[in-house]
Amino acid sequence: MLFFLDSAKLDEIEYAIKRWKIDGVTTNPRHLANAKMKVEQFIEKIKPLVENTNISVSIEVNPHLNDAESMIEEAQRIASMCENFVIKIPATEAGFEALSVLSKKGVKVNVTLVFNVVQALQAARLGAYYISPFVGWKEERGDYDVDFISNVVRAVKNYGFKSKILIAAVRSARHFTEAALAGADIITASFEVYKRSFENPYSSLGLDIFKDSWDQIQK
């Protein structure tokens, strides 16, 4: 399973590439707002970091675009700036229409804001490169569906579609477990979630125990 970082903050991205060897980056308008950057500023900074690497970067079209033609135009413009860019298009009727054109033109599309299996299947049928089911947003609103991740993965894999399932809006290590056991291809999580998950308190406790044991023998 590939690990992507869900962030537009350059310091976090640089750290995660260097220290954690992450495979990709995903952003959305909220992440850009948190990083206090317009999409063009982000593109200018991220491009030199990832070009000539295998690190993919998902960048979302302007969320105010609500017709397929405008999404297609913006997607093509951003995609042409760097081979590593994957364009995020929302799972809406206009988004799906744009996807069917873009995938035929060879633009890599990440269908975002996926909340049910039908949206995932439609994205797969129309040639999505990545499909992003949002796990955390549902849970935060009390809509916890224990089978959501596995249902999306099974439905898409059942028919041999090539789209990769990218589990998004990940909030905890449990989501990693569910995604991995379901056979999801990729997971994207925030800097904080990785930090929390890599640094399990039992590991620190165990290290303290081993330090004590080590010191006893040295006496």
- Residue 43 Cα to chain centre, angstroms: 17
Helix, strand or coil for residue 128? coil
* The one among 6, 12, 23, 178 contacting ligand E4P by CB under 6 A: 6
Dihedral (CA of 179, 170, 23, 197) sign: negative
178 interacts with ligand E4P by CB under 6 A: no
* The one among 46, 59, 87, 168 contacting ligand E4P by CB under 6 A: 168
Distance of closest approach, residue 9 Cβ to ligand E4P, in angstroms: 12
Which among 18, 23, 46 has a CA at the least distance from the CA of 189?
23
Residues 33-92 that bind ligand E4P (CB under 6 A): 58
72: left (phi over 0), alpha (psi -120 to 50) or beta: alpha
* The one among 119, 122, 163, 188 contacting ligand E4P by CB under 6 A: 188
Distance of closest approach, residue 212 Cβ to ligand E4P, in angstroms: 40
Residue 102 or residue 189: which is nearer to ligand E4P going by CB? Answer: 189
Binding span for ligand E4P by CB under 6 A among 24-32, 101-109, 121-129, 196-204: 24-32
30 interacts with ligand E4P by CB under 6 A: yes
Residue 129 or residue 213: which is nearer to ligand E4P going by CB? Answer: 129
Residue 144 or residue 210: which is nearer to ligand E4P going by CB? Answer: 144
Half-sphere exposure of 123 (CA within 13 A, CB side): 34
* The one among 26, 56, 84, 122 contacting ligand E4P by CB under 6 A: 26
Residues 89-108 that bind ligand E4P (CB under 6 A): none
132 interacts with ligand E4P by CB under 6 A: yes
* Euclidean distance between CA atoms 167 and 133, whole angstroms: 5
Binding span for ligand E4P by CB under 6 A among 25-33, 46-54, 75-83, 145-153: 25-33
The two structure tokens encoding residue 8: 């537009």
User: First vs last Cα of the chain: how many Å apart?
Assistant: 45
Residues annotated as catalytic are 88
| H-type alpha helices, the chain | 10-20, 29-34, 39-50, 68-79, 93-104, 117-125, 135-140, 148-158, 173-182, 191-198, 201-218
